[in-house]
Structure 1
């Protein structure tokens, strides 16, 4: 009978070690895919540069759709606004009342239901004003109160700011788009998700101090903007009530 050759123990140990090393190499190759492959590359940048790039992209874009909440002091505003350099159109909800804002150039119009005007203190004219655009006088307090919601540059410069030390917090997704997340002070200073696809626009912002969450979309997509015609407007006068 022919004897069966046996591999010495030390050789078997060496072969096993080689096999494990090869398996580890294969697994690393399969599971270690570059999360930034095929992206715009901002995910590989330091967080300060990511924030700088996204601010520049937001400033350069002519249009944006902004939606979410903004908390200022004791007031919470829910916004759904389309903004451009020459004006804006959309809705604002505050203190249980919803109203629409329309700005064309320097002209600001407000449209609300009867309940809004009653809460603002004008019960007598509520039925006349409901559903109509009311031109807001520029010298009126209401103009100064609401104009900021319609100014793209003002909103972007005020909102897209993270506080504290910046850091990246992994790859995420917003609306089906891959993002890189930047945090301020470990998240306490806010978080910002930046698109890894195409232009590095900001897509989602969680403001510091629980001051609201906003999403940004339709960057650079134009939308129609025109003053309402006479049948849609009511001349309130020189001073508007505000709630």
Structure 2
């Protein structure tokens, strides 16, 4: 599933670019450091599904896509490699993108966090990120403070939506790419079906829960390594705006 991995890497990069674009809008934008939570790789025990026990790969893929795109909210955490650099991402958000809390740590380009809510978009970033983005001097002095992005930045919320991310990711996967054999594996205590590229697991794998056909994890290929772990499907993510004391006013 090399194409799937490449697409996810591209989408992650697009999120980073969106943050940068917002940062350069007139006089607002930051995100500092809330480091993304560490990806829980958890021990996974692999066993080949018994004959007749597994649904066909194409059917599992279809059900996983339907379940993911129907979700109202979700979260994922992990890292992907882009052009030889590692991007760490911690994403929580709704399908429509109106509510989101995203932290991205880009090797060599700094760390940024964006909180998107109905009443505004708040961004916080470290000095390295703002310098790379050529942000205004006032923004570069924000430190750990959030800055409320200009109204124009709210247009980026759609590009940060869970649904947009999933549509682009699943749009890169076709049943013809999948190996016919479906494995059975426990990931962090969740029994999953494991769909792999025809060339084997080292070239990409998608882990889908057996009970609800929810995406649990995907791993990248040897050319585009990475891993994202998914959770909190359809849950209340508890995303709130920064406290007033955490927001820097720009005159």
In the superposition, the TM-score normalised over structure 1's length comes to 0.66
Tell me, in whole angstroms, the C-alpha distance in 1 between the residues paired with 2:168 and 2:119: 20
Q: Say whether residues 1:99 and 2:112 are aligned partners.
A: yes
Q: Does the 8 Å CA contact 1:162/1:184 hold for their aligned counterparts? A: no
- 1:53 deviates by 0.4
Unaligned runs of 5+ in 2: 1-47
Aligned-pair Cα RMSD in Å: 3.4
Where structure 1 has 5 or more consecutive residues not aligned to the other structure, the ranges are 1-33, 238-243
Inter-partner Cα distance in structure 1 for 2:140 and 2:90: 25
Q: Are 2:225 and 1:225 equivalent residues in the alignment?
A: no
Equivalent residue, structure 2, for 1:151: 161
SS in 2 for 1:153: helix
Correspondences of 1:6-155 after superposition (within 5 Å): 44-73=54-83, 76-85=86-95, 86-96=98-108, 97-105=110-118, 107-122=120-135, 124-125=137-138, 128-137=141-150, 139=152, 148=159, 150-155=160-165
Counterpart of 2:173 in structure 1 is 162
C-alpha displacement at 1:189, in angstroms? 5.7
- Structure 2 contact 82–224 (Cα < 8 Å) conserved: no
The higher relative CO (CA closer than 8 Å, separation ≥ 6) is in 2
Q: Are residues 1:212 and 2:196 paired?
A: no
Alignment deviations for residues 170-227 of structure 1 (CA, whole Å, 9 cap, x no partner): 111111111111123334762101112x311111111344252211012222122233
Q: Matched residues in 2 for 1:127 and 1:102: separation? A: 18
Taking a change above 3 Å as real, the CA distance of residues 177 and 200 of structure 1, as seen in their structure-2 partners, is same
Number of aligned pairs?
197
Kindly indicate whether the alpha-carbon contact (under 8 Å) linking 1:108 and 1:147 is maintained by their aligned counterparts in 2.
no
Larger Rg, first or second structure (1 or 2): 1
Residues 185 and 206 of structure 1, relative CA distance in 2, 3 Å threshold: same
**CA 1:147–1:99 in structure 2 vs 1: closer, same or farther (change >3 Å)?**
farther
Q: Offset of 1:102 from its aligned partner? A: 0.7
What whole-Å deviation, never above 9, does each CA across 1:143-179 have from its counterpart, x for those lacking one?
75x974x310011122244355322341111111111
CA distance in 2, matches of 1:217, 1:153: 15
2:196 is matched with which residue: 183, 204, 209? Answer: 183
